[in-house]
Structure 1
Amino acid sequence: MRTGTTLRAAAVGAAMITLAACSGGGEDGSGTAPADAALTVVTGVYPLEWLATEVGGDRAAVVQLTEPGVEPHDLELTGRQVGQVSEADIALSVSGLQPAVDEAVEQEAADAALDVADIVELRPADPEEAAHEDEEGEDHAHEDEHAHEEEAEDEHAHEEESGGDGHDHGEFDPHFWLDVDLMSQTATALAERMAEIDPDGAAAYEENAEAVTAELTAIGQEYEDGLASCAHDEVVVGHTAFTYLTDAYGLEQIGVSGVDPDTEPSPSQIAAISDTVEERGITTVFTEPLMPDATADTIAAESGAQVEVLDPLEGVTEDSPGDDYPSIMRGNLAALTTALECS
């Protein structure tokens, strides 16, 4: 990861490059850049690019920092991309997902930052650990209530001095976009920020956000209807990127590894999941477009299940069950209703 000094040097070196010139595909970023755009938005993950494009319409130039087919968690920025972040009117991100983007925004675009973690309530990356911490907090609440109050006052004072918000978003699951209600909230907040920057386009941004919300509401209703009556509720996945989706519709996510897709499952983890799949009569093990199929293939071979694709929407590839956010969400629904034997 680059240091803050390196980031600043890279941004200075890219200062003469305009966002319009940088918005083509390839290693330097991709997206749309109308010549007469009223504002520019830079994003690092596909769902946010889609949202910014829909809400911004023809008034916004949207730059995507992650190339198609690249795992967004692993993104490293070039100097030119750091320059794009530095020059953006809005740096739309979800902190904790892409450390390179987080660092670039913090160092070069703090005033332009729009962090989804400040808009919606993100889920903890490890729900069991969070629940354990909550239980411990309740057990000791009466013993150290006064001490906590003093700590809170000290922490609040420190935050005011440092300008921080007191949250470590790295502890949270960033895959909020699989919850259409949270996407709607983000669309509204993005339209409001765009209107602040470009007041002449306020009505257009509001109208676009309303259209996005209507589309998301329709998708949510399709999920409600499609998953209302199913023979199974277990969703076996490579890494637990689907918590927002499974929790929203009463499904059980069974993950081979955690939220981080780079975490390699151990043989014992694979064996345990294989046993669970076989014992419960689960017919499908899901893999992802941007992840190797080896683990899912091993579980399927040992349990007799089949392998299908469930897309966490971190990017669009030729293996995605659609070519944009709405069609991929609907493709995921079709895969789920088949795997779970829904009627």
Structure 2
Amino acid sequence: MNVRRLIPTAAVAAAVALGLTALSACSTSDAAESKNGDKLDVVASFYPMQFLAEEIGGTHVSVTTLTKPGVEPHDLELSPRQIGGLSDADYILYLKGIQPAVDDAIAQSGVRNSVDAAKLTTLEDHGTETGGDEHGHAHEGEGAGADPHIWLDPVKYAEVAKGVGRSLEKADPNHAADYRTNTDALVKKLDALNASYRAGLRTTTTKTFITTHSAFGYLAERYGLVQEGIAGIDPEAEPSPARIKDIHSIAEKSNATTVFFETLASDKTAKTVAADTGLKTDVLDPLEGITAKSKGDNYIEVMQSNLAALQKALGAK
């Protein structure tokens, strides 16, 4: 995580106080006026949470996201207005561990219906700093910790969706039946996506893919693949010379064909490694945000594009 850009807890507390003072000063504040009729006012931390809130909430929610399109979520800086405005939300959906500045702000907000998606499934350690072994586990001496990228595994994402649905039912019981219906519909889409990945990646020439951002540990483990990350969970982290050397050896031994990069971060490292190893480059989107460069308009479409990219890189048969 890019600790250089984190907002200190003291600053968060001060911003909350500032925001609350401004809100109490005028009953017709911007935050109050943003209430959309009888809709539940939902704040999502970044795109994967926004998608769940919109799909499950449907017409009964008004969703805003703290991370605007094109902003790398790990680097997000919250404004005092954003931090202070959190206290007006009816419901907050976030994923602890991705954005510490957001985690601190939510802890200070006092909103009762604050849901941490990380608690709706089981997090695992995939050695996200430098890559893992053939089972997705960290090698001795490598950086370790709970991998937060649960949304890139359709099965885990479906587990989270079910938990979000239940929490929305409690937050807004008058529309519980609709939330259940919407949750069931989304889970069916995710089940179909999972089936597509299983079928599409069952038989491949190689199981190894190289990526600049170690975000795909859950996906690799789910479908029997091997993720070799050049850097850690911070997509703009500089890899060590030793890791670059390792990647060269891994690419040769595993018959890897492609170095993947993403849309929200620089492709410089991927292109450098690819040039040194004679490999191709392509996009594997960690789906932390949707922009004009995204290969799809929503989570399902981009995940389908990711599948096609993996099939090509791995030599799917």
Q: 1:51 Cα deviation (Å)? A: 0.6
CA contact (8 A) 2:169 2:179 kept: yes
Q: 1:219 Cα deviation (Å)? A: 0.4
Matched, 1:320 2:288: no
CA contact (8 A) 2:127 2:139 kept: no
The gaps in structure 1 that reach 5 residues or longer are: 22-32, 135-169
Cα distance in 1 for partners of 2:281, 2:139 equals 36
Q: 1:335 Cα deviation (Å)? A: 0.2
SS of the residue corresponding to residue 118 of structure 1 reads: helix
Aligned to 1:66: 67
Matched, 1:12 2:20: yes
Cα distance in 2 for partners of 1:327, 1:201 equals 28
Matched, 1:174 2:148: yes
Q: 1:291 Cα deviation (Å)? A: 1.6
CA contact (8 A) 2:236 2:265 kept: no
Matched, 1:284 2:277: no
Q: Percent identity?
A: 39
Against the structure 1 CA distance between its residues 107 and 250, is the aligned structure 2 distance closer, same or farther, given a 3 Å change threshold? same
Letter in 2 for 1:265: P
Aligned to 1:272: 246
Q: 1:252 aligns with which of 226, 230, 235?
A: 226
Cα distance in 2 for partners of 1:329, 1:133 equals 28
Aligned to 2:86: 85
* TM norm structure 1: 0.81
Matched, 1:102 2:115: no
Q: 1:11 Cα deviation (Å)? A: 2.4
| Greater mean alpha carbon deviation, residues 220-229 or residues 312-321 | 312-321
CA contact (8 A) 1:56 1:194 kept: yes
The structure with the largest alpha-carbon Rg is 1
For 1:64-213, list aligned pairs within 5 A: 64-124=65-125, 126=127, 171-213=145-187
CA contact (8 A) 1:19 1:84 kept: no
Q: 1:216 Cα deviation (Å)? A: 0.3
Against the structure 1 CA distance between its residues 74 and 90, is the aligned structure 2 distance closer, same or farther, given a 3 Å change threshold? same
CA contact (8 A) 2:13 2:105 kept: no
The gaps in structure 2 that reach 5 residues or longer are: 1-6, 24-28
Q: 1:311 aligns with which of 280, 285, 310?
A: 285
Against the structure 1 CA distance between its residues 19 and 251, is the aligned structure 2 distance closer, same or farther, given a 3 Å change threshold? farther
Question: Per-residue displacement from partner, 1:115-148 (whole Å, max 9, x unpaired)?
Answer: 11221111125377x97999xxxxxxxxxxxxxx
Against the structure 1 CA distance between its residues 132 and 18, is the aligned structure 2 distance closer, same or farther, given a 3 Å change threshold? closer
Letter in 1 for 2:206: H
Letter in 1 for 2:31: T
Cα distance in 1 for partners of 2:263, 2:251 equals 21
Cα distance in 2 for partners of 1:270, 1:132 equals 17
Aligned to 1:55: 56
Against the structure 1 CA distance between its residues 270 and 104, is the aligned structure 2 distance closer, same or farther, given a 3 Å change threshold? same
* TM norm structure 2: 0.87
Aligned to 1:43: 44
| Greater mean alpha carbon deviation, residues 182-191 or residues 285-294 | 182-191
Question: Per-residue displacement from partner, 1:49-92 (whole Å, max 9, x unpaired)?
Answer: 00100000010011111111110011111122113321111111
Letter in 1 for 2:211: V
Q: 1:183 Cα deviation (Å)? A: 1.4
Aligned to 1:137: none
Letter in 2 for 1:214: K
Letter in 2 for 1:105: I
Cα distance in 2 for partners of 1:339, 1:14 equals 53
Matched, 1:296 2:296: no
Against the structure 1 CA distance between its residues 239 and 19, is the aligned structure 2 distance closer, same or farther, given a 3 Å change threshold? farther
SS of the residue corresponding to residue 92 of structure 1 reads: strand
Against the structure 1 CA distance between its residues 62 and 132, is the aligned structure 2 distance closer, same or farther, given a 3 Å change threshold? closer
Q: 1:331 Cα deviation (Å)? A: 0.4
Q: 1:187 Cα deviation (Å)? A: 1.5
SS of the residue corresponding to residue 264 of structure 1 reads: coil
Against the structure 1 CA distance between its residues 13 and 124, is the aligned structure 2 distance closer, same or farther, given a 3 Å change threshold? farther
Q: 1:270 Cα deviation (Å)? A: 1.7
Question: Per-residue displacement from partner, 1:85-108 (whole Å, max 9, x unpaired)?
Answer: 211111111111101110111011
SS of the residue corresponding to residue 257 of structure 1 reads: coil
For 1:216-231, list aligned pairs within 5 A: 216-231=190-205
CA RMSD of aligned residues (A): 2.4
